[in-house]
Structure 1
Amino acid sequence: MTKKIGLYFGTFNPIHVGHLIIANHLAEFSDLDEVWFVVTPHNPHKIKKTLLEDHHRLTMVRIAVEDYPKLHASNVEFDLPQPNYTVNTLAYLEEKYSEKNFCLIMGEDNLKSFQKWKNYEVILERYSIYVYPRISEGTVETQFNNHKKIKKVDAPIIELSSTFIRNGIKSGKNIKPMLSSEVWKYLDEMNFYK
């Protein structure tokens, strides 16, 4: 039987409980068999002081998903040419794992700007997109409403961001409940975001 894999892209800088809640919800309450956290590499052309090195972010995702058999960490984009586009990653994965059926996971905020993505029509034609709710400005393009490839998922709305967590750490706040305990331990030991 072909496994249906949901691809959840992000910098995960750091991965937090909101990411885990969304991914686990999709793995447990949709027809997806697994969810892969695809860690987006640092764009070498952009200086982003707050973005941890790729291997640290990947390590945190691996630590975070350890107890979830349906959730996995993926570094697939680390070896692909930069800048990377989702359409290229999807094509690469499809070729490498021809026995799997890949889908895209995105927040409703991303769907609102989806028409700006490189080759978005190709993505829409070839892959299902699972959209979880987000509170955000703007509206979804009419062409994406009731589209047969776009599945709106009734997942919990999580208003938590990695930026909020990084800022909290920097200003000495206790953000421990927002991260899995193992990720918190790793961040704390490494003195990240301070």
Structure 2
Amino acid sequence: MPDSKKNTGLFFGSFNPVHVGHLALANYIIENTELEEIWFVVSPQNPFKQSHDLIAAEHRIKMLELSIENDTRFKICDIELNLPIPSYSYKTIRELYKLYPDHSFSIIMGSDNLLSLSRWKNIEDILQRCPIKVYPRPEYPIGKIALNASIEVIEAPVFNIASTTLRKGIKQGKDYRYLLPQQAFEYIKLNGLYLK
């Protein structure tokens, strides 16, 4: 009997803020893989990153909602906001399989994160439950990284856009309307985000 589970990609990130690179990448991956939907998993805190400039989760979720509201292939997942901080992917994945047994999950990550994979907690558990789809990031060539059967390389376009750069530019008063989804850009302006 064929597997009837829904193929779902988990795109982890702080989305602080979501930008056109995130959406273009998700669009490319869903059009060129077996994935039927992509969930944007909003992280409260990455164990490997400082969070002093991380704005409230409700703002980040709202910007995502506004940016993907017309695309039923994309969903927002806030599960990590209800798990202990710092959030660890293996705990998130275990919880997702409990809540959504009719789904088959894959992790979507950039080649920069692939380098730190060996430092992830319980990485063997993650790879048994979730294959990983890796997309290229500038200055992190995938060819130099050891791959295994659980890791698939997606030859997606390279988007050299960083949320850090966007936050810095917004604080300086730069007009980055074409680097952000229009709705997210307007929400940032309306709420005076990233100005402090």
Partner of 1:157: 158
CA offset at residue 81 of structure 1? 1.8
- What's 1:116 paired with? 119
Equivalent of 1:67 in 67, 70, 79? 70
Structure 1 unpaired stretches of 5+: none
Which whole-Å deviations, capped at 9, do the CAs of 1:140-165 have from their partners, x for residues lacking one?
Answer: 776x42x1111100111000010110
Asked if structure 1 preserves the Cα contact closer than 8 Å seen for 2:20 and 2:179, the reply is: yes
Question: Using the alignment, how far apart are the partners of 1:47 and 1:151 within structure 2?
Answer: 29
- What is the match of residue 54 of structure 1? 57
Given that 1:3 and 1:100 are in contact with CA atoms closer than 8 Å, whether structure 2 keeps it comes out as yes
Q: Secondary structure at the match of 2:178?
A: helix
Aligned pair 1:125/2:131, yes or no?
no
Tell me how far apart the structure 1 counterparts of residues 134 and 59 of structure 2 sit (CA, whole Å). Answer: 28
Cα deviation for residue 137 of structure 1 reads 4.9
Amino acid at match of 2:192: N
- TM-score calculated relative to the size of structure 2: 0.91
Gaps in structure 2 of 5+ consecutive residues: none
Contact 2:106 2:131 in 1 (8 A): yes
- Could you tell me whether the CA contact under 8 Å between 1:132 and 1:154 is conserved in 2? yes
Correspondence 1:97 to 2:109: no
The structural deviation recorded for 1:49 is 3.6
Match of 1:181?
182
Alignment deviations for residues 87-137 of structure 1 (CA, whole Å, 9 cap, x no partner): 000000001100100110100000011001101111112211000001135
Distance 1:55 1:119 in 2: 29
Once the two structures are superposed, residues 48-106 of structure 1 have per-residue CA deviations (whole angstroms, 9 ceiling, x without a partner) of 34211011111111111112211111111111122210000000000110010011010
Q: 1:193 — aligned with what?
A: 194
Q: 1:138: how far off?
A: 7.7
Equivalent residue in structure 2 for 1:24, among 27, 38, 49 = 27
Give 4+ residue runs of structure 1 displaced > 3 Å after superposition.
Answer: 46-49, 137-142
CA RMSD of aligned residues (A): 1.8
Q: Is the 8 A contact 1:112 1:138 kept in 2?
A: no
Contact kept in structure 1, 2:6 and 2:104, CA below 8 Å: yes
Secondary structure of residue in 2 paired with 1:131? strand
Deviation at residue 47 of structure 1 after TM alignment: 7.3
Distance 1:148 1:42, change over 3 A: closer
Aligned residue in 2 for 1:167: 168
Pick closer, same or farther for the CA change 1:171–1:23 going to 2, 3 Å: same
